Chain A
Amino acid sequence: QKEVEQNSGPLSVPEGAIASLNCTYSDRGSQSFFWYRQYSGKSPELIMFIYSNGDKEDGRFTAQLNKASQYVSLLIRDSQPSDSATYLCAVTSGSARQLTFGSGTQLTVLP
């Protein structure tokens, strides 16, 4: 069974700080990597995706991918209380048949 592992947290950071979220995956054939934000009881919403090794920046968010280490991370700069949510890492299998999620990291940004 393909696995996606995340630190469950909870993670608390002060407002304005950098939040760092980490994820590892087991399937070396995985091609696509995603970060979703989910508020309690709501459906996940996509915030970042990355396909290639290295960094990808979008506003306050930076995704980092290291396929050799099977590791993907998300940095949130200048964290805001509205960023408080659960962040889900997800990986598409090499066959593109399955999108597998990690268990999520609960982030709290303290005013």
Chain B
Amino acid sequence: EAQVTQNPRYLITVTGKKLTVTCSQNMNHEYMSWYRQDPGLGLRQIYYSMNVEVTDKGDVPEGYKVSRKEKRNFPLILESPSPNQTSLYFCASSLQGASGNTIYFGEGSWLTVV
């Protein structure tokens, strides 16, 4: 089954404690992306990757890091989380480029920073 898997799905953490949200896809997609969603703000792109070792900033990259060492994985790293990073996070992948009709979303990760 084609899927994008995110972990953890739910996390409460404390300010400053480094955390990683993993994202894995099993479709051999080249394109992967992270979004955050806050009430009234839709989905805002954090980082995206066009292929292995190719990553770029989206619209709200501050406070986040990513890596793309292998095609299937695209982890999101919060080196020093702060309460304003409390949000719902979605990972997404697409065969080639940010094509909205072939993009697959993960189920989302609820992150609370206290």
Contacts and interface: CB of A to CB of B under 8 A. Distances in A.
A97 B97 contact: yes
B59 interface: yes
Given A41-B108, A101-B44, A34 B97 contact: no
Contacts of B88: 41
B74 interface: no
B108 A43 contact: yes
A72 B30 CA distance: 28
Interface residues of A, number: 27
B59 A88 contact: no
B24 to A, nearest CB: 15
B100 A46 contact: yes
Nearest to A97: B98
B42 A99 contact: no
Interface in B83-102: 88, 90, 92, 96-101
B108 to A, nearest CB: 6
Contacts of B106: 43
Interface of A: 1, 4, 6, 8, 32-34, 36, 41-44, 46, 49, 88, 90, 92-93, 96-104
Given A46-B100, A96-B96, 11 more contacts: A8-B40, A34-B100, A41-B88, A41-B110, A44-B105, A90-B100, A92-B98, A96-B98, A96-B99, A99-B33, A103-B42
12 contacts: A32-B101, A43-B105, A43-B106, A44-B43, A46-B103, A49-B101, A96-B96, A97-B56, A98-B58, A100-B45, A102-B42, A103-B40
